[in-house]
């Protein structure tokens, strides 16, 4: 956008005269935004003011939705990737008549307990399809929504599943690296039902976009196999045509919408306009320029009616859909409903139990990444909603099972995604699949590269999405690839994150139990931390009960007087068991506690926790990760203290064969035994 155009800005009177009804509707969004930001004395005014025209046309003419039934599975999804412009979304939801989004909620923008948080929070209100705010997440998440839609369209037919995912992105979203992973993946997969509306306003917080970026975004999207359309973002007729054209493409489409941030205000086209416009005079002047009258938060009744008619526009189509849905046959309908509810397959518990029994008997020695594959081989055939994938480590993560098929433009029934070397994009896409509904995604990479996926993994937790992260190569046990690939702090990172279940199973039985919990989770993501190296089966006695569900349990009881408790996870449980052998031989009664999931153990009642970790015996924890967090378990319940020590890593790893490294870093049975003796 040339400086010249920016300086002049559009002629509001001409815009109003050209499309008076549209202007009034869009201006309702603008004034609600100004009023809410002023009341909160914080927020972002400029983006909703700039994108109101595009959003109005989208909701009025294109978005398939029914405000009275935001849970209609075949609705279009709307993703506000530029989440700071949350008032755009809240205004739309209020105006079109989503019941929860009352004017009082708008008045309480950004206040405690309101559903109108500073950035859109999934779960606060229907119509908020995804939590956004961390830039780039929305567009990356939308790719997963579009994948889920394609897979379900293939499975259930076009009469049941046939909707679009619309995304509004800003320059910030497009500068974040994750946007590249997202658009490259979407372009490659030819997700033609994904339409991105770029708010091309040329402004960021630090000033003009041009101070930090010279990217030709249109060329960039084309290079990623997208269709690109340009449009004046304040011309409703042109916008309508562009959106119509976008829906017809064979590829995903990016619509570059030239807009003026903070349209019509004295802060138009400036970084000031990006933020909170709270000056009463500025607000009054701007409303006057809009030709808008009336008190703050006041929407004329006739205008509200017009908007509510837009909100009801899809009711007929929705009713027709319900008729069609009723006719698809009980089996398919049941499967559709079960997967949208997020229930696991009814066969799951018995299937897992059978595997556990088999493994307790055959006692294989295998890496837990291989154990995970063994579980997936029996899960995927009975859980039609799983969508697997890996960030280019399929053979290492053991995530692809025989029956899945690969998801490609030619095979929309495939349930395995080759994500490419895009851990972050994968994690965000998985969030999108879970948000879309009817899908239960899992995806793999090396545990160390959770670093790349962190922002999206945090959103899995914050949104409460039951995504499963299959994170293999979980310690120095991966060997020669060296410290860049060896997790040290990553268990602590995942455990520190609220609402995240971190599973580090010690053998195939625990892996099966962990998978059962991941697949039955409804509001918590799961991280499976799995070994590259082989491990023995330690759960050699079949239990009907899922012991991992308790988080920690007694794997081996002390013989004689209980003098020590060894706590361990994953590959170090074997070490703890060997240390127990050493100590018992010396007459030191030693219990081994396997702790595959701290979070679930914390949720047990105090009685159980005390039973597993009674006061008295010394405690030694062993884990091939950092100490961070372990002191919690080396002390007793609040106020009661027990002697404790930790055997693990206190620095980065090194490049050498795994067994050499365990020796080198002193993570051995003898070291655990010695640490125990030192405490006694």
Q: Does 84 carry a binding-site annotation? A: yes
Q: Which is nearer to a second copy, 243 or 476 (CB)?
A: 476
In angstroms, give the least distance from the CB of 467 to a second copy.
16
Is 530 annotated as belonging to a binding site? Answer: no
Residue 48 annotated as part of some ligand binding site: no
Q: According to the annotation, is 485 in a ligand binding site? A: yes
From 494, 446, 677, select the one nearest 597 (Cα to Cα): 494
Structure token digits, residue 389: 């994938």
Q: Is 631 annotated as a binding residue?
A: no
Nearer to a second copy, 190 or 358 (CB): 190
Q: From residue 26, give the alpha-carbon distance in Å to each of 51, 146, 554, 578.
A: 9, 28, 63, 70
Report the nearest approach of a second copy to the CB of residue 621 (Å).
12
Q: Least Å distance between CB 675 and a second copy?
A: 10
Is 385 part of the annotated catalytic residue set?
no
CB 89 within 8 A of CB 176: no
SS3 193: coil
Sign of the alpha-carbon torsion through 379, 385, 391, 394: positive
- The answer on whether 133 is annotated among ligand-binding residues is yes
Helix axes 315-326, 330-341, angle to 10 degrees: 120
Burial 512-544 (b: 16+ CB within 10 A, else e): bbbbbbbbbbeebbbbbbbbbbebebbbeeeee
In whole angstroms, the minimum distance from the beta carbon of 130 to a second copy comes to 11
388: phi then psi, degrees, rounded to nearest 5: -95, 175
Residues 6+ away with beta carbon under 8 Å from 485: 446, 448, 473, 478
Beta bridge partners of 649: 626
Query: Closest CB to a second copy among 83 and 551?
Result: 83
In angstroms, give the least distance from the CB of 215 to a second copy: 5
* Catalytic residue, candidates 121, 149, 335, 423: 423
**In whole angstroms, how close is the CB of 373 to a second copy at the nearest point?**
15
Q: How big is the CA angle at 462 (ends 167 and 166), to the nearest 5 degrees?
A: 10
3-state secondary structure of 142: helix
Closer residue to a second copy in complex, CB, 114/534: 114
* Residue 449 annotated as binding site: yes
Terminal Cα-to-Cα distance of the chain (whole angstroms): 74
Query: Is 162 annotated as a binding-site member?
Result: no
Q: Give the integer Cα–Cα distance in Å for 44 and 86.
A: 8
Least distance (Å) between residue 136 CB and a second copy: 8
Specify the pairing of strand 207-208 against strand 227-232. Answer: unpaired
Q: Is 481 annotated as a binding residue?
A: yes
Which positions ≥6 away from 555 have C-beta within 8 Å? 506, 538, 539, 573, 577, 592, 593, 594
d(CA 636, CA 54): 59
Identify which of 445, 467, 448 has the alpha carbon closest to the alpha carbon of residue 456: 467
Our CB check for a second copy shows the closer of 331 and 639 to be: 639
d(CA 349, CA 520): 10
Distance from C-alpha of 320 to C-alpha of 110, rounded to nearest angstrom: 38
Binding residue numbers: 44, 84, 133-135, 171-172, 201, 203, 274, 369, 396, 449, 473, 481, 485, 532
Binding residue numbers for thiamine diphosphate: 84, 133-135, 172, 201, 274, 449
Binding residue numbers for substrate: 44, 274, 369, 396, 473, 481, 485, 532
> Which residues are catalytic, by number?
423
């Amino acid at each position: 956008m040339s400086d010249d155009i920016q300086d002049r800005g559009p002629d509001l009177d001409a815009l109003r005269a050209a499309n008076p009804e549209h202007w009034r509707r869009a201006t309702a969004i603008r004034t609600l935004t100004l009023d809410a930001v002023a009341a909160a004395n914080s927020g972002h005014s400029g983006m909703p003011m700039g994108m109101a025209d595009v959003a109005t046309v989208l909701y009025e003419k294109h978005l398939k939705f029914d405000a009275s039934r935001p849970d209609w599975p075949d609705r279009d999804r709307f993703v506000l990737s530029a989440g700071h412009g949350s008032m755009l979304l809240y205004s739309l939801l209020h105006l079109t008549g989503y019941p929860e989004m009352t004017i009082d909620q708008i008045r309480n923008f950004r206040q405690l307990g309101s559903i109108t948080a500073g950035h859109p929070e999934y779960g606060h209100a229907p119509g908020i399809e995804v939590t956004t705010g961390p830039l780039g997440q929305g567009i990356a998440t939308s790719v997963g929504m579009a994948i889920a839609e394609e897979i379900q369209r293939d499975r259930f037919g076009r009469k049941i599943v046939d909707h679009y995912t619309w995304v509004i992105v800003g320059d910030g979203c497009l500068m974040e690296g994750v946007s590249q992973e997202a658009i490259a993946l979407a372009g490659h997969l030819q997700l033609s039902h994904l339409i991105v509306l770029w708010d091309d306003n040329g402004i960021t917080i630090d000033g003009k976009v041009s101070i930090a970026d010279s990217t030709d975004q249109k060329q960039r999207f084309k290079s990623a196999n997208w269709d690109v359309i340009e449009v004046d973002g304040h011309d409703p007729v042109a916008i309508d045509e562009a959106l119509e054209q976008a829906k017809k493409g064979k590829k995903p489409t990016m619509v570059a919408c030239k807009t003026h941030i903070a349209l019509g205000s004295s802060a138009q086209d400036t970084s000031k306009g990006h933020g909170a416009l709270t000056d009463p005079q500025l607000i009054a002047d701007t409303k006057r320029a809009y030709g808008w009258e009336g008190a703050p938060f006041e929407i004329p009744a006739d205008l509200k009616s017009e908007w509510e008619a837009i909100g009801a526009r899809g009711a007929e189509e929705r009713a027709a859909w319900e008729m069609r849905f009723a006719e698809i046959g009980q089996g398919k309908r049941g499967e559709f409903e079960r997967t949208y509810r997020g229930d696991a397959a009814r066969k799951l518990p018995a299937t897992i139990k059978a595997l556990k029994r088999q493994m307790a008997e055959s006692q294989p020695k295998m890496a837990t990444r291989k154990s995970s594959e063994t579980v997936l081989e029996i899960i995927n055939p009975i859980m039609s909603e799983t969508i697997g994938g890996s960030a280019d480590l399929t053979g290492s993560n053991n995530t692809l099972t025989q029956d899945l098929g690969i998801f490609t433009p030619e095979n929309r029934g495939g349930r395995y995604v080759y994500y490419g070397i895009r851990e972050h994009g994968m994690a965000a896409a998985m969030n999108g699949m879970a948000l879309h509904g009817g899908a239960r995604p899992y995806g793999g990479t090396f545990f160390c590269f959770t670093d790349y996926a962190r922002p999206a993994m945090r959103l899995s937790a914050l949104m409460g999405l039951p995504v499963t992260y299959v994170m293999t190569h979980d310690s120095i046990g991966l060997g020669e690839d060296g410290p860049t690939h060896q997790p040290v702090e990553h268990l602590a990172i995942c455990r520190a994150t609220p609402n995240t279940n971190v599973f580090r199973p010690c053998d195939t039985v625990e892996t099966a139990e962990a998978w059962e919990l991941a697949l039955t989770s409804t509001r918590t993501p799961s991280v499976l931390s799995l070994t590259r190296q082989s491990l023995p089966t330690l759960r050699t006695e079949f239990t009907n009960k899922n012991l991992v569900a308790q988080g920690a349990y007694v794997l081996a009881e002390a013989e004689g007087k209980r003098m020590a408790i060894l706590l361990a996870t994953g590959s170090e449980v074997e070490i703890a068991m060997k240390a127990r052998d050493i100590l018992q031989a010396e007459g030191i009664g030693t219990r081994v506690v396997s702790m595959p999931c701290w979070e679930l153990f914390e949720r047990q009642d105090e009685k159980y926790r005390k039973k597993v970790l009674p006061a008295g015996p010394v405690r030694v924890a062993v884990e091939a990760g950092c100490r961070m967090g372990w002191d919690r378990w080396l002390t007793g319940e609040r106020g009661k203290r027990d002697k404790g020590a930790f055997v693990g890593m206190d620095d980065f790893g090194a490049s050498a064969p795994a067994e050499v490294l365990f020796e080198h870093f002193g993570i051995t049975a003898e070291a655990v035994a010695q640490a125990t003796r030192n405490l006694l």
